[in-house]
Amino acid sequence: MSPETPTLVAYRFDVPETPVETALPDQPWLRSADEVASGLGCETSRGLTPGDASARLERFGPNRLESEPPVPRWRKFLSHLADPLVYLLLAAVVVSLAVWAIEGAEDVPFEALVILVIVIANAILGYVQEARAERAVAALQEMASTSASVLRDGEEMQVPSVEVVPGDVLLLAEGDAVSADARVFDVASLMVAEASLTGESEPVSKSTAPLDEPSSLGDRTNMVFNGTAVTRGRGRAIVTATGMASEMGNIARLLDTTEEARTPLQREVDAIGRALGIAVIIISAVVVGTILLGSEIREPADFVAVLLVGVSLAVAAVPESLPAVLSLVLALGVQRMAHKNAIVKKLSSVETLGSASVVGSDKTGTLTRSEMTLVKVATPSGEVDVTGTGYRPEGEVLAGDEPIPEGPLLEEVGLVLMGGSLANDAVLRRENGEWVIHGDPTEGAFLVAEAKLGLTASREARFRRVGEIPFSSERKLMTTLQADAERDGQVDVVTKGAPDVLLARCTLELVAGEKRALTEERRRQILATVDRLAGQALRTMAVAYRPLPDGASSSDEDAVEQEMIYLGTVGIIDPPRPEARAAVADALEARIRILMITGDHPLTAARIAGDLGISEQEAVVTGSELEEMDDDGLSAVVRSATVFARVAPEHKLRIVRALQAEGNIVAMTGDGVNDAPALKAADIGVAMGLTGTDVTKEASDMVLADDNFATIIAAVREGRGIFANIRKFLRFLLSSNTGEVLTMFLGVVLAGVIGLEQAGGAVAVPLLATQILWINLLTDTGPALAMGVEPPPHDVMLRPPRHLTERVIDKEMWIGIIWVGLVMAVVTLTALDLGLPGGLFEGTGTIDEARTMAFTTLVFAQLFNCFNARSDRSSAFRSLFTNGWLWGAVALSGLLQVAVVQAPWLNQAFGTVPLGPRDWSICIALASLVLWAAELRKLIARRLGTEGEASVWSGDDRRAPGGQSPASMSML
């Protein structure tokens, strides 16, 4: 937006070409915050009312950038007809109708009409599948949408970012994504990364004062902009523009949408389709040429029939529904993940998820409950226990088994808890009868313990915050400046943070109300206490204070946080999640390494890692040790170490890169803004949905709605299951289509052997064009889709992670596809021969009867193949009834085939005749041979014990990488 723009313009989302003039102030960066608020009709202390916000949302439209206009439904439908093979079919229909008209148009042109109906039916099915996939993806995007903190009617609340409106008061904190352009009016060390908008590489420090003159975008230091991210501090700002009226919206108008790159899986499927297309066109040409050379073409209709056979063969052999089925299976699978609290943001991430070989997880809230409870307080005068669990402020503070008596210990404990509650941004509230914490759970633990001691009211009445130095992962400290009403407004610096870091900034300690010098002996004693508490799986936090020196300012962090007075240390427990141990065992059994990467104390990390089964060793690699390692040293460490403690976000990034350099597929969790680089660098970035920042969520590939480690492993399991299902329907479709191609090719080549050339017709082929297309319609829809929604295989977590470079269809799978296709062709041609005079088996039927038997045998052979295709190795009879959808699809397809054969009104359309019980028995018995032949091949493969789909590691190779032991392993 240029400085010359006379008024701000908001755009309705539904009619973006029509600007709606508003009363918003011109160039808000040149005006005071009060002027901007007045022009917007809002109060900075209370924000908008819900009613006013709703009215503005109706007026200005959703806060989102315009997308490309939706493609009309009719165009989507026609896109499913835009295929060269479909064009050939339609051309053949036109030629067939023309010949029919030339010959007198006496009978109904059943063949042309049936082909036309099947082509349209295929297009409808493709359209429906695409629509379902789009709906599933849209639902996922809705679940992954970001939210914004706003002030509405004096209450802080979270609203979807799309509902932010001009005049809203945004509440900004470290890690938040800025959801709209806004004028800043309150800051505390607020810094914003604006590289995505201005190209400025360093975060920009924000202030509240109006600018003196028109400025470029990068120099508007009192504004925050849509699409940027808060990297430090906090602030409040009045929204001045949303959606397409924002600066990001102006840029969006200049950009063309780009199509998302196709995934390796999609590219491989496309390559398979192209290769099949070329092969089948060649085979179709050979079949057509052989028929033309070996048959007497008497009429134009004979030539059209041969042409239809060739085209139909090509269409049937290429599984053109594969892309739609693939997208739908991925979308439905990812939607199932979302219902289990794992929100995968892109379908392409499913491939990577199933291939994860290392999961680097934070501890707090992911492997543990994140119900932080302060249970220990250690002061210079002694140590006390705090009873009670969770956030309900009910419990006692005990010295031994007795309440603390009046005296120095009680006073010191009160100062520690009050100090931790002052250096704090959390809020303890009672909502709907339950006590909840808004903010960091660790900070909330101080508030709950303070309330148990009954100090909350006096603290709130006595102290007023006048400044702060926000927490940062680099400093591991948080400081507030508090004016004390009981000491005539004297300002104190109150700090809490990591004990080792804070103790290094202390020179004194408070003992029984007296300040004493911190000797080296006392420092060792305090650190020994910290280690003892950490060894009990407690998270330790220290509290210190000092009077603010005259002339000092919170802007000078190094000067303020020095020469502190140590008050004491607390121990906070966050017990492991019960489900996390089972999830860790499942991951190790799947040969997935689990690394704990935490900023917590090494002893605490080691204790929790041991309890969860992550590590059998007590050795822990610390952040300070990582600092001293070069890349080679780090590579050696990540091969064996499983627990990393006291790490900073930049250490996470180094660990990710070192693991990837070793050939691992890495999933990494994170919640803070500084975790974003590591999550972006990881193959699968996993953000926390409850405690994660918006920036982290945007950088991630997956969001955990419940912050639970078990959800990651459940998602990996689901991802492996989805990939296994993709292999299943690929195996089914390709083997079935191979059977159709070989049936036609071998039927024409071996016509003399099976008696087909003696059938008496001018053009004798194993199957008619309409029959081939009907088979394709049956098999490419219901059964294939049903395979895509099968439960994960029983052994899916017993297999090693799949390498992304591995082919989806490997050598063994191709052998199985060709074997099944060959058997399918043999049994189909056998049924044809049994119905014809002459050949290998003497029959007495007509060509129509023989074709009907062959047609039926091939359909049921493909239905039997549904069960065979569920695995390359496992028997089809294992877990036979776990997929009700598959049984339903098979039953429906079988009934439709019975109708095509037995219903008189369909006989003429498909060139069939009714079959008797004996013929039906022969067809089904022959078709079942496909299943028995596949079972024989699988049995041989299992006995030989070669590597394949269902392989598990055995013998001496019973340990996962990094020295971790799977809980149990077994041979199938």
Residue 90 has pLDDT above 90, yes or no: no
- What is residue 925's predicted lDDT score, i.e. its pLDDT? 95
Phi-psi region of 285 (alpha: psi -120 to 50; beta: other; left: phi over 0): alpha
Give the integer Cα–Cα distance in Å for 930 and 819: 9
Lowest pLDDT segment from 378-392, 710-724, 895-909: 710-724
**Residue 257: its pLDDT value, please?**
41
Given this model, what pLDDT does residue 20 score?
Answer: 37
The string of pLDDT tens digits covering residues 671-713 is 766 677 888 888 888 888 776 666 677 778 888 888 888 888 8
pLDDT number for residue 64 = 79
What was the pLDDT predicted at 941? Answer: 81
Cα separation, 910 vs 692, whole angstroms? 60
Mean pLDDT of the chain: 79
Ranking 9-18, 474-483, 606-615, 877-886 by mean pLDDT, the lowest is 9-18
- Whole-number Å distance between alpha carbons of 714 and 710: 6
* 413 close to 570: Cβ distance less than 8 angstroms: no
213 or 255, greater pLDDT: 213
Torsion from C-alpha of 641, 642, 648, 653, nearest 10 degrees:
80
Q: Is the pLDDT of residue 737 over 90?
A: no
546/483 Cα distance (integer angstroms):
12
Average pLDDT (580-608) is 87
- pLDDT of res. 188: 82
Element holding 211 (H helix, E strand) = none
- Tokens of residue 810, six digits: 């490997």
> Cα-flanking dihedrals φ and ψ of residue 118, to 5°?
-65, -40
**Which stretch, 275-289, 433-447, 470-484, 821-835, has highest mean pLDDT?**
821-835
| Residue 40 confidence (pLDDT) above 60 | yes
> Which residues contact residue 84 at a Cβ distance below 8 angstroms, ignoring those fewer than 6 apart?
none
**Taken in order 48, 49, 53, 59, is the CA torsion positive or negative?**
negative
Lowest mean pLDDT among 481-490, 510-519, 756-765: 756-765
> What pLDDT is stored for residue 659 in this prediction?
92
463 contacts 485 by C-beta, under 8 angstroms: yes
State the residue for tokens 């049984």: 887
Rounded to 10°, the helix 264-294/709-749 angle is 10
Rounded Cα distance between 242 and 225, Å, is 10
Name the E strands within 548-589.
Answer: 564-573
Compute the average pLDDT of residues 841-855: 86
Nearest to 621 by CA among 575, 526, 471, 609: 609
Q: Is 810 a catalytic residue?
A: no
pLDDT at residue 256 in the model: 41
CB 492, CB 545: distance < 8 Å: yes
| Dihedral (CA of 417, 420, 421, 426) sign | negative
Q: What integer is the mean pLDDT of 517-534?
A: 93
pLDDT for position 408:
92
Centroid of chain to Cα 567: 45
Among the options 168, 362, 500, 600, which is catalytic?
Answer: 362
- In whole angstroms, what is the distance from residue 737 CA to residue 733 CA? 6
Using CA atoms, how far residue 927 sits from 240, 729, 850, 863, 866, in Å, is 70, 19, 15, 9, 12
Nearest one of 275, 367, 375, 364 to 319, comparing CA atoms: 275
CA distances from 89 to 112, 617, 748, 851, 915 (A): 9, 67, 21, 22, 29
Assess whether pLDDT exceeds 80 at residue 521: yes
Share of the chain above pLDDT 90, in %: 23
Q: Which amino acid is at 660?
A: Q
Tell which wins on pLDDT, 829 or 961.
829
Q: What number is the average pLDDT over the span 504-509?
A: 94
In the prediction, which pLDDT does 569 show?
A: 96
pLDDT, residue 753, reads 82
The secondary structure element, H or E, covering residue 912 is none
Task: Give the model's confidence band at 8: pLDDT under 50 very low, under 70 low, under 90 confident, else very high.
Answer: very low
Nearest to 723 by CA among 662, 830, 807, 779: 807
DSSP per-residue letters across 372-438:
-EEEEEEETTEEEEE---TT-----EEETTEEPPSSHHHHHHHHHHHHHHHS---EEEEETTEEEEE
Query: Measured between alpha carbons, how far is 13 from 415 in angstroms, rounded to an integer?
Result: 54
Span 110-166, pLDDT tens digits = 666 766 776 676 667 666 656 665 665 555 455 445 778 899 988 888 888 889 999
Looking up tokens 């990467």, which residue turns up?
597
For 214-229, the pLDDT digits (tens) are 877 778 889 998 878 7
Amino acid identity of 730?
L
Grade residue 727 by pLDDT with cuts at 50, 70 and 90. confident
CB atoms within 10 A of CB 590: 21
Query: In this prediction, what percent of the chain has a pLDDT beyond 70?
Result: 78
pLDDT the model gives residue 107: 63
List CB contacts of 842: < 8 A, sequence separation 6 or more. Answer: none
Rounded CA-CA distance 8/25 in Å is 7
pLDDT at residue 952 in the model? 32
Going by pLDDT thresholds of 50, 70 and 90, the confidence category of residue 350 is confident
Which 8-state DSSP code applies to residue 497? E
* Among 903, 896, 930, 926, CA closest to 777: 896
Structure tokens at 517: 């010098």
Measured distance CA(331)–CA(325) in Å, rounded: 10
Query: Is 911 a residue whose pLDDT tops 60?
Result: yes
Statement: residue 970 has pLDDT above 60: no
| Percent of residues in the chain assigned helix, strand, coil, to nearest 5 | 50, 20, 35
Q: Which residue has the higher pLDDT, 809 or 594?
A: 594
Regarding predicted confidence, which is higher, 409 or 143? 409
Secondary structure (3-state) at 223: strand
Alpha helices in 780-846 (DSSP H): 782-787, 811-835
pLDDT tens readout for residues 468-503: 888 876 778 999 999 999 988 899 999 999 999 999
Is the pTM higher than 0.75? The answer reads: no
Determine how many CB atoms are found less than 10 A away from the CB of residue 505.
20
Does residue 258 have a pLDDT over 60?
A: no
Smallest Cα–Cα separation from 414: which of 424, 423, 404, 400? 404
- 205 vs 221: CA distance, rounded Å: 7
Between CA 34 and CA 36 the distance in angstroms is 5
Enumerate residues 6+ apart whose C-beta is below 8 A from 919: 835, 849, 853
Cα separation, 126 vs 132, whole angstroms: 10
User: What count of other Cβ atoms lies within 10 Å of the Cβ of residue 713?
Assistant: 27
Strand partners, 576: 368
Average pLDDT, stretch 617-639?
Answer: 87
For tokens 């079942």, the residue is 928
- Predicted confidence (pLDDT) per residue in 743-755, tens digit: 888 887 787 788 7
